[in-house]
Amino acid sequence: MREVAVIGVGITKWGELWEKSLRTIFVETALLALDDAGIDKVDSMHIGSMSSGLFVGQEHIASLLADYLGQTPVPSSRIESACASGGLALRLGFMEVASGMSDVVLVGGVEKMTDVSGHEATYALGTAADQEYEGYHGLTFPGLYALIARAHMQKYGTTREQMALVSVKNHRNGAKNPLAQFPFEITVDSVLNSVMIADPLRILDCSPITDGAAALILCPAEMARKMKKPVVKIIGTGHATDMIALNQRKDITWLEATYQAAKQAYTMADKKPEDIDFLEVHDCFTIAEILVIEALGLVKKGKGGEAYEDEITFFEGKIPVNTSGGLKAKGHPVGATGVAQAIEVVKQLRGEPGERQLKDPKIGLTQNMGGSGGSTVVHIFEKE
């Protein structure tokens, strides 16, 4: 199996992009990635998109986006795994290059979510849950994560203030990211006094509805070296699933798919949790980030909330989490999120994030999750 490197990245401002179409958003970011890589042709494309049909009425986007990027007749695939679509697209692109089937692969993600009403967006996102046994009874994703949050609070003593600190941290990081949807700081009080969505989660505990895209270029590491490119390698990848409905799980306060995907990635990379310098993880709700750092082995089970009081996940902490601002501040165009996480890690390892640059990071990890934890993809990156 060949070593795989990222040689180009592209991402633009995320938010409510009323004046742009899905195809335009994607092409803009893909062209940035191609320019960054110094190439104009790829062998293959993998594009993460959760629900383009429900959001903009357009299916068959693999053909559409290859066409408008000027890359036909290359093979192009649309990848769907709910909010983990982008991460899974990256995994498949990695596998294609590592296997030798292709040398240059474009991995992208895109979602145009604001062209529908809030009710329609809620329905579209709800299709990532169990429609017959959860959606039928009126459960939305804020409702599902509210159940998880309440159970974690009762079982481990996690507090509302600890969850609020997740949002405060991510907005503090996002304030340094000019491409973030919400680049401003907030306080614990503002979180605790924001509009209630599903008790105990308030609106500032929730990631937003977002338009956006992200793209990167993969190739063999040896090719990257010959091109005199900074070599950031993907050294580990993991993918796992869990029961889709919360009521089927043994413990709704534990993300088994994240644990299993991380276990695979750590083994492949020959790394341990303590070897990771920083992470980009799936903070679709504040409680989600707390559960993720537990499942990744960064803190003991049930101690995730305390990590935020101790600020170990903050920018200056022992293990910085979501230097980009995370889904909460950067935004969450669901199909693009996993690719954008990888871009932040690559930029950090290349020394490019500017004001939010960490001090000499060498190993980064991304964790991208679908639904209420029904699927997870983990990648580990290393600077050569």
Burial code (b: 16+ CB inside 10 Å, e: under 16) for 259-295 equals bbbbbbbbebbebeeeebbbbbbbbbbbbbbbbbbbb
Give whole-number Cα distances, 114 to 52, 140, 208, 267, in Å.
12, 18, 10, 40
**Distance from CA of residue 171 to its chain's centroid?**
16
Please pick, among 152, 239, 332, 379, the residue that the annotation labels catalytic.
332
E strands in the chain: 4-11, 44-48, 76-79, 105-112, 196-198, 201-202, 211-220, 232-241, 278-280, 363-370, 375-383
CA distance 341 to 69: 22
Q: Is 83 a catalytic residue?
A: yes
Is 95:89 a contact under the CB 8 Å cutoff? no
Beta bridge partners of 79: 48
DSSP string, 245-290: SGGGSS-TTS-HHHHHHHHHHHHHHT--GGG--EEE---SBHHHHH
Q: Is 219 a catalytic residue?
A: no
Those residues with Cβ within 8 angstroms of residue 95's Cβ, 6 or more apart along the chain or in another chain: 237
CA distance 147 to 138: 13
Is 371:51 a contact under the CB 8 Å cutoff? no
Is 164:188 a contact under the CB 8 Å cutoff? yes
Please pick, among 46, 83, 282, 284, the residue that the annotation labels catalytic.
83
CA distance 40 to 137: 49
Tokens standing for 171? Answer: 């907005």
The catalytic residue positions are: 83, 332
